[in-house]
């Protein structure tokens, strides 16, 4: 369990509603349910869930990768699935869940726009994972980002809610240039967690994610399998037993790609994803412009 409680805020009162017969059900389940009643996720595209699409409304499967225009699922929704299922199995009311994350958001947008909305919902668990879009910018200062993050973590913890932070990924390939800034930011995250009694989702330490097959065609967002594994790691970060004990076991090595195939794939990636990203930067626009949160109001999870 990745949590240090030297300066924890006081726990919120336990007002969990127990459905009739809960005690017997808990004994049958043989486990204690997660204590959280209301979970709100805030963040950027990672917590929005790109690219892990739900089926379309008519039940038709959505295409994988960035071709999907469907609502995205992602690790946070998957985490909510498990927390709620465990509560119900133990005889408690389902988890209430909201997800305010929007792709393209910088850390300051997450902290000033999403967190106040999250706190207004009076959650007892908030996942706050952001800063990745800032780290991609060479002029970003990880220490300044961390100071802003810490102020908000202290604010959330003062309400009695638990906080789940997330480290940055151990990037490879063309994004290897961000490793230094990411490592510096990560060191700050662990310190923030220690000072304020927060939980940490250790993305940097996930061996299974250092495999291109866990990443979508844009190479910066996860596949459904990547999100599934991260949701398992989030359970571990919260001090809970993962459903899949082998969630971080790396895949079997892939056959090496030929030089020609790799060059062709890299060129396609540059045209399809890098050039549009640079163009948005030059125009001062974001992939999240005009978008709203996918699950803006806490409700019983999963939705009917």
> What single-letter DSSP state applies at residue 112?
I
What is the per-residue pLDDT for 281?
A: 74
Please state, as a whole number, how many other Cβ atoms lie within 10 Å of the Cβ of residue 117. 15
What is the per-residue pLDDT for 31?
A: 58
Tell me the sheet residues that pair with 41: 99, 127
Report the distance separating Cα 187 and Cα 181, nearest Å. 10
Structure tokens at 277: 């990203």
- Report pLDDT digits (tens) over 206-256: 999 999 999 999 989 999 999 999 999 999 999 999 999 999 999 999 888
What is the per-residue pLDDT for 172?
A: 81
Positive or negative, the Cα torsion across 219, 225, 228, 234?
negative
34: helix, coil or strand?
coil
* Cα separations in angstroms, 225 against 30, 78, 107, 230: 29, 11, 26, 9
Structure tokens at 181: 């800034």
* Residue 251 CA from chain centroid, whole number: 22
Catalogue all structural domains in the chain, each as residue range(s) with its CATH number.
Answer: 26-300 (3.40.50.1110)
Minimal CA–CA distance to 161: which of 2, 4, 6, 11? 11
pTM over 0.85: yes
Structure tokens at 119: 């706190």
* Cα separations in angstroms, 297 against 89, 104, 153: 24, 21, 21
Report the distance separating Cα 71 and Cα 291, nearest Å. 12
218: helix, coil or strand?
coil
Tell me the sheet residues that pair with 215: 222
Helix ranges (DSSP H) in the chain:
22-29, 45-48, 74-89, 107-109, 115-120, 132-135, 142-158, 179-196, 224-237, 259-269, 275-283
* Cα separations in angstroms, 165 against 268, 269, 303: 34, 30, 25
Structure tokens at 229: 């594994």
Report the distance separating Cα 284 and Cα 289, nearest Å. 10
Report the distance separating Cα 78 and Cα 43, nearest Å. 15
> Would you give per-residue pLDDT tens digits along the chain (304 residues)?
455 444 333 334 344 444 434 343 333 333 578 999 999 999 999 999 999 999 998 999 998 777 778 999 999 999 999 999 999 999 999 999 999 999 999 999 999 999 999 999 999 999 999 999 999 999 999 999 999 999 999 999 999 999 999 999 998 877 889 999 999 999 999 999 999 999 999 999 999 999 999 999 998 999 999 999 999 999 999 999 999 999 999 999 988 888 888 888 878 867 878 787 788 878 888 888 999 999 999 999 999 8
């Amino acid at each position: 369990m990745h949590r240090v409680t030297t300066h924890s805020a006081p726990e919120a009162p336990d007002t969990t509603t127990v459905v009739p017969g809960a005690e017997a059900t808990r004994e049958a389940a043989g486990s204690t349910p997660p204590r959280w009643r209301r979970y709100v996720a805030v963040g950027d595209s990672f917590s929005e869930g790109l690219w892990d699409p739900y089926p379309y409304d008519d039940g038709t499967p959505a295409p994988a990768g960035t071709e999907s225009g469907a609502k995205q699922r992602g690790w946070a929704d998957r985490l909510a699935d498990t927390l709620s299922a465990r509560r119900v199995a133990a005889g408690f009311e389902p988890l209430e869940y909201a997800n305010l994350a929007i792709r393209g958001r910088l850390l300051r947008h997450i902290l000033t726009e999403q967190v106040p909305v999250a706190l207004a919902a009076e959650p007892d668990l908030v996942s706050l994972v952001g800063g990745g879009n800032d780290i991609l910018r060479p002029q970003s200062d990880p220490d300044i980002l961390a100071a802003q993050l810490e102020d908000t973590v202290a604010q959330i913890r003062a309400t009695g809610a638990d906080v789940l932070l997330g480290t940055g990924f151990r990037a490879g390939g063309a994004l290897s240039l961000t490793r230094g800034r990411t490592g510096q930011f990560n060191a700050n995250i662990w310190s923030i967690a220690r000072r304020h009694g927060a939980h940490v989702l250790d993305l940097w330490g996930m061996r299974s994610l250092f495999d291109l097959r866990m990443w979508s065609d844009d190479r910066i967002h996860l596949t459904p399998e990547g999100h599934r594994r991260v949701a398992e790691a989030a359970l571990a970060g919260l001090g809970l037993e993962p459903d899949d004990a082998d969630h971080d076991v790396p895949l079997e090595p892939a056959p090496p790609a030929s030089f020609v195939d790799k060059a062709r794939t890299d060129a396609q990636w540059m045209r399809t994803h890098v050039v549009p990203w640079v163009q948005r930067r030059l125009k001062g626009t974001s992939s999240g412009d005009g978008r709203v949160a996918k699950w803006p109001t806490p409700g019983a999870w999963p939705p009917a």
